[in-house]
Chain A
């Protein structure tokens, strides 16, 4: 067993533990934090595959943005943990059935069909840049698929904004451009008054 294998097994153990704790942790905030740990360890595993761009993007997007919003929501909600766990035994048979079915399907996909998933890719020399290779593939061979994905995301963004956008009347707000443009004469009226009486 070389050093790389050791790192792989350590990371895999942490990943499995974290994934297990995501579903078993009592408090949702703890579950979200274990999910963060799982993502981080997953990124470490990808680094072992020389996929440094994907690994860093996983950390940047999922840990840096998505999970922060998750945590926000989970912290803001007033969750009743006892109530949430109440239906556990009732739902268990159905959930177990679906889970086992999914695991079975995954085994089928990964083993049947002549594709060997277990083999790790050939290691490359020091001059190899995975980021550059990925960029080359995305913008040459798969440029249409990539652009379609980008358009789909753009539509999703516009739709999400359109849902939240509503014009509320009667709210007080400031217009910074008007604030900057304001002159003294708009706000102050100078009044010239004669003294009322001689002392």
Chain B
């Protein structure tokens, strides 16, 4: 392995750092895109079984090629530009939606060593980058030159901005417990089995983060952006690949939020218990299993709960979640000054 690396290093010369970074980016984004494709398949299958249906089963064995067929179909379709839409912004909006969803992965650690950029303030970086995703939505709604798209964009972005506050406060609790803004250090602070993970001392923040994550990605039961009963949605005027990119961004964000929840509240790559046979399983598999579990919750919510009304969404975000997180930050901060402070580390 090292021989091959040194050989390649000699081959590219001065361009090697660039080439090596590119290779690492591809190594993160390619599995992510595959994950997005098969998350849509898993969604349709799981919700299908929950509703006593079979789900997609025609393309390929047991429908395994369905996401590939969907992607091909969307690639072939025409991108329709609405009349007197702002053309530049109309096409820029999907890029602004997917860009942050992918850029956030730069600092996500998959194991103590396996991280593209182990920067000091990686938690802040993720909060900052994901807060930019709302521009794609606002611009898509505005540039479409349609009242319905614009109303949908207003709803979606107001919802995202509101729940971002609760999410940010939940993360404040995590960084207080870990005493670090670095994701690798946050996961290292949770070593020692399921009862050392932060979900237990920070349980209210964990619940708030999980639900706010569902709202933040505009998923059911907070999916008013695709409310069929009052057809408004920021992407109603998008077709073909331009629509598919919004779709990709939504699912990439789902995986991102699940990974963040797994890293910050469920111990990341730490095994369930700190003894054999649990420690035989590599850390990456543990992380993947936790992410898959949270993604399953996303799909389960969608199959179970009816859609919230818009004023109820806003009430939940502002009047319930933000006070809960504020109170629990105070509790954690006060408890750290008592002899029981170690329980919150």
| A residues in contact (CB < 8 Å) with B | 29, 33, 36, 52-53, 56-57, 59-60, 63-65, 68, 71-72, 75, 129-131, 176
Contacts and interface: CB of A to CB of B under 8 A. Distances in A.
B121 A52 contact: yes
B343 interface: no
A63 B181 CA distance: 21
B138 A72 contact: yes
Given A68-B134, A68-B135, A68-B157, A56 B128 contact: yes
Contacts of B134: 64, 68
Contacts of B157: 68, 72
Contacts of B181: 131
A182 to B, nearest CB: 16
Interface centre among B132, B154, B161, B315 (most CB of A within 10 A): B132
Given A57-B124, A65-B161, A75 B131 contact: no
A68 B136 CA distance: 11
Interface of B: 89, 119-121, 124-125, 127-129, 131-132, 134-135, 138-139, 142, 150, 154, 157, 161, 164, 181, 312, 315
10 contacts: A29-B89, A29-B142, A33-B89, A52-B119, A56-B121, A59-B131, A59-B132, A71-B135, A75-B142, A131-B181
Nearest to A58: B128
A57 B154 CA distance: 24
A72 B155 CA distance: 11
Contacts of A57: 124, 128
Nearest to A59: B128
B124 to A, nearest CB: 4
Contacts of B161: 65, 68
A63 B127 CA distance: 12
Contacts of A72: 138, 154, 157
B131 A63 contact: yes
Contacts of B120: 52, 129-131
